[in-house]
Amino acid sequence: MIDDLKKLLNTSYNIKLVEMVAKNNLSGSIASNIILPIAILVIFYRLIPYMHFWLMIHFFLFFSRMYVAKKISNYLKFNDKDKIYRYLKIYTILISITAILYGYIVWQSVLYTEDIHIFVMVTIITSIAAGSVSIFVSVFYIFVLFVILQMIPLICALIYHGNGMFYIVASMATLFMLIILLNGYRQFKTLKETILLKESFKNRVDDITCELKEKNKMLLRRSRQAAMGEIIDAIAHQWKQPLNAIVMSISMLENSAKANEVIKNKDIIDCYNIVNKQITHLTNTLNEFRNFFRADSNTELVSLKVLVDSALILLKDELLRNMIKVDVSCNENIFINVNSNDIIHLILSILSNAKDEMLKSNVDSKDRKIFINCYTQMSKVIIKIKDSGKGIDKKIIDDIFKMDFTTKGKTGGTGMGLYMCYLICEKYGATIKASNDNGAVFTVALKID
């Protein structure tokens, strides 16, 4: 019981409960602090001397509380708990003095009148004043202090007169006080449980959000690793041609030298140009491959055309080997603030999907085409990738961006490619949609920063 009482009177209250007191004091205290004191002044002005001084002190305390409540509200924005609790203690002192002022009125009414009707009126007014402090119930000890300091003088004054009628009124006042305290405790308990429930729910949501983010990062790594296998295979094929060209050029010079033929300067220069061109091609492929798998989460303002070209370099040989032509229409002046690898990954996934579907659908080699169109529309950057395949089955078009969904069977695909496209778009507040227009069309809409 003692421990429970200490908890109730503990000044280290939940910040949300303190915030409610500050807001309620600033917005909902006109009735109890302006209208009621003026009503008391009108009723007791002729009975109790110096009532105008009492009213002035009351208003001074009221505006002081308003100032302190404002300070608490300001410090709540910065979550400065030390200053919040310091001003809460000042606020408590001001509330206690205000309650004592009401007790003063009660004692003065005892000294200057014995009319039972006046006492009944004082009881009603005091009870109303005590009940009006429900705005303080979120910090329960303030509420308790105000009610007790206000009601106890009234009860004692009634008992002081010592006859039956006054005892009845004193009993009524005591009952009012207990009802007010009990009701206040119930309100406080409900508020506290509600806030704790909200905080628990928010913490749970935050935990789930963190888990989802970590899961998405893991999925992105898995998708990158899957893409790595495909691109390594593509690069293995892609490097065969330039390496063969280098070997052939050098072999021609070697054969001429072995045959004691005169090697012309033109032949040496031609050989150099061929080798240099092929080495440049190998270097570019290697750099794009390295950049794509570099763990970098920073965003930068980058040309969309550059990102499209980077993706095409990584798939160049794979597209050539399958005789797929790519038509790119992308303005070089379109810039987006993204992580480059994310958008390259997105474009690669869509291109790979388009390639696989055209091969799966047995599209004639001369008709295999992919169109990449980038443009701005309103306040968005649009990336539209269209292929000349047979399109997407209407039965599955709404499911293709779901996790683990694949039409390639257990050995043909993981169902991660388009799902990762969806996650990448979600990361940037973008949208991705699939449709059919003489082939599959994927439309990505990115917001312009």
Asked if the model's pLDDT at residue 447 lies above 90, the reply is no
Task: Specify the pTM.
Answer: 0.46
> Across residues 361-383, what is the average pLDDT?
90
Confidence of residue 289 (pLDDT cuts 50, 70, 90): low
Instruction: Quickly list H helices, 79-163.
Output: 81-112, 116-131, 140-161
Q: Are 267 and 256 in contact (CB under 8 A)?
A: yes
Q: What is the pLDDT of residues 252-263, one digit of tens each?
A: 777 777 777 767
Higher pLDDT: 407 or 133? It is 407
What is the spatial distance between Cα 146 and Cα 95, in angstroms, rounded to a whole number?
6
Which residues make Cβ contacts (< 8 Å) with residue 324, sequence separation at least 6? 355, 358, 368, 369, 370
pLDDT at residue number 22: 61
Higher pLDDT: 340 or 130? It is 340
Higher pLDDT: 385 or 75? It is 385
What is the spatial distance between Cα 335 and Cα 304, in angstroms, rounded to a whole number?
6
State the sign of the Cα–Cα–Cα–Cα dihedral 187, 199, 9, 60.
negative
Higher pLDDT: 384 or 38? It is 384
Tokens 């030390």: give the residue.
82
> Across residues 167-180, what is the average pLDDT?
80
Gyration radius of the chain's alpha carbons: 40
pLDDT at residue number 12: 46
pLDDT at residue number 325: 92
Q: What is the pLDDT of residues 91-115, one digit of tens each?
A: 888 878 887 887 777 777 766 666 6
Q: What is the pLDDT of residues 19-51, one digit of tens each?
A: 666 666 555 555 566 776 777 777 777 767 777
Residue type, 193: E
Asked if the model's pLDDT at residue 386 lies above 90, the reply is yes
Which residues make Cβ contacts (< 8 Å) with residue 449, sequence separation at least 6? 336, 337
Confidence of residue 442 (pLDDT cuts 50, 70, 90): very high
Residue type, 333: N
pLDDT at residue number 373: 94
pLDDT at residue number 198: 78
Give the rounded percent of residues in the chain with a pLDDT score beyond 90: 10
pLDDT at residue number 417: 72
Bridge partners of 384? 373, 443
Looking at 54-58, 232-236, 244-248, 271-275, which range is the least confident one?
A: 232-236
Higher pLDDT: 305 or 311? It is 305
Q: Residue 442 CB: number of other CB atoms within 10 A?
A: 25
What is the spatial distance between Cα 388 and Cα 26, in angstroms, rounded to a whole number?
67
What is the spatial distance between Cα 359 and Cα 346, in angstroms, rounded to a whole number?
20
Asked if the model's pLDDT at residue 269 lies above 70, the reply is yes
